[in-house]
Chains A and B, each alone.
Chain A
Amino acid sequence: MSGEGTVREIGHDEFDPKGTLALISVYFAILVVMWIFMYFVEFLGNEMTVIG
């Protein structure tokens, strides 16, 4: 896999996709916040919930 333009080869564990990790962390945080807001604030906090 070494082409002519290859400057440096690194192994599987040496490549750290920090940007991807950051992006996924942000998505994850958004999911968690939205879930907590939707369920605990919007849903449970709403009046007249079906109890039976």
Chain B
Amino acid sequence: MHIHDYEKIWLVLAMLLIVAIITTITYGATAAGIGMISDQEETIDSNALDEDERFAEPRVEQVGENEYEAYVIAQQFVFSPDPIEVPANSRVTFYITSPDVLHGFHVEGTNANTMVIPGEVSKLTVEPNEPGEYGIVCNEYCGSGHHTMEGLLIVHPEDEFELEGDSDE
């Protein structure tokens, strides 16, 4: 088969583009440390969230020196707790589940974004560095009030943060 020189050029370029895109993704997953929301978490009975020690009382908990876990329920049409409050420059792992239908959990303007599936626990770890208030939106259509479903993530400056219930002072 005879191929024109110009055709060779764009065939090679197209191949290079594919290789470059795959390389970029590999770089992101290894060197840049971008994580994926996995499906490795154990499933959960979505009708009995009140019997689960994590979700009976949605909250933020300190689990290490600078590590926090947030247990979040997304349901028609609220996120709880609301607001979710964490300190800056920490490592926060969200565990999010739903008692009713499919929801989304997207910290607006950031890369923290996951689907929330009834019966499953979405686990994602982030490191919030910039103090401020971040809106949380549901980005999966979940019913008539979907467009009103929003939450708030407040990232407090480290020295101003105190967990609810903590009264050291």
- Give chain A's interface residues, CB within 8 Å of chain B: 12-13, 15-17, 20-21, 24, 28, 31-32, 35, 39, 43-44, 46-52
Contacts and interface: CB of A to CB of B under 8 A. Distances in A.
Interface stretch (B34-42, B141-149, B156-164): B34-42
A50 B17 contact: no
Nearest to B129: A47
Contact of B37 (A13, A21, A50): A50
A49 B13 contact: no
A28, A44, A50, most chain B CB atoms within 10 A: A50
Contacts of B34: 44, 49-51
B88 to A, nearest CB: 11
B32, B93, B130, most chain A CB atoms within 10 A: B32
A44 B21 CA distance: 15
Contacts of A47: 109-111, 128-130
Contacts of A13: 4-5
B111 A48 contact: yes
Nearest to A35: B21
Contacts of A39: 24, 28
Contacts of B109: 46-47
Interface residues of B, number: 35
Interface in B1-15: 2, 4-6, 9-10, 13
Nearest to A39: B24
Given A13-B5, A17-B6, A21-B6, A51 B35 contact: yes
B96 to A, nearest CB: 12
Interface in B77-132: 93, 107, 109-114, 123-130
Contact of A50 (B2, B10, B20, B112): B112
Given A49-B34, A51-B125, A28 B13 contact: yes
B17 A44 contact: no
B33 interface: yes
